Amino acid sequence: KLKPLLARYEKDYRADPRDPFKRFLWAYSLSDRNQAWEELTKITKLNDRFYWAYLGMGIILDGWKVDDQAEMNLKKALEISSSIAIGYGRLGKMYLRKNNTRQALEMLEEAVDKDPGHSEYRLELARALDKDGKTGEALAAFRKVIEQDSSSFAAHAELGDLLNKKGDKAAAVDSWAKAAGLDAKAYPVRFKRATALVELKRNDEAQPLFLAYQWNEQKPGAK
């Protein structure tokens, strides 16, 4: 499905190579991330105020875990435009990976404020709130993600984890059940749910989940 789209990006770029956005779309879509990085660097030499090139370089560097340069490029993008949510979202996500929780919260709250309909920013914010020990706010944030996108496996699964940590096992079981319903291969979630069901003395519900988990673990190539 991606091939026609990638071919179109390249065709558009070749037809107008000096258009920075067409060149960005083509460069960022390249599967070779080193080549993508080189092409994005060329864009900044043609236009040193082009937001998307710095954002793209920041994302690639974040993926490589070259944190200082990733931060520099993402901050440069924010300097160029402070109104676009994705720059805050990506920088916040990087800070969260680095356990810079305060900075992560600052960036992710800004991303959600600028684009409240984007559930991925809110999911990262929920994770940051949880990591910062703000359990009530994290629970509300996870539930807001689910309200916006009921098909979010991560939100249901992580809400279950947080509820379980909080001691609300019955609610955790329900959240994990919703997550498991979205992914037939979510055996670790099913195992956690089964364990909690045993603790709730709901053994009849737990037994088939344990059996399914055991069967999956014994399959060739399961580990």
Sequential DSSP letters for the chain: -HHHHHHHHHHHHHH-TT-HHHHHHHHHT-S-HHHHHHHHHHHHHH-TT-HHHHHHHHHHHHHHT-HHHHHHHHHHHHHH-SS-HHHHHHHHHHHHHTT-HHHHHHHHHHHHHH-TT-HHHHHHHHHHHHHTT-HHHHHHHHHHHHHH-TT-HHHHHHHHHHHHHHT-HHHHHHHHHHHHHH-TT-HHHHHHHHHHHHHTT-HHHHHHHHHHHHHHHHSTT--
d(CA 127, CA 37): 29
What one-letter code names the amino acid at 185?
K
For residue 86, give the amino acid letter.
I
**Helix and strand numbers, DSSP H then E, in the chain:** 13, 0
pLDDT at 176 over 80: yes
- Nearest-5° Cα angle at 201, 207 to 177: 60
CA distance 175 to 126: 15
- Write the CA distances from 119 to 39, 65, 73, 76, 142, integer angstroms: 30, 24, 24, 25, 10
Per-residue pLDDT of 79-136, as tens digits, reads: 999 999 999 999 999 999 999 999 999 999 999 999 999 999 999 999 999 999 999 9
Tens of pLDDT along 24-82?
999 999 999 999 999 999 999 999 999 999 999 999 999 999 999 999 999 999 999 99
Q: Is the pLDDT of residue 177 over 70?
A: yes
pTM: 0.91
Smallest Cα–Cα separation from 60: which of 107, 110, 94, 18?
94
In tens, the pLDDT along 146-157 reads: 999 999 999 999
Residue 218: predicted pLDDT = 67
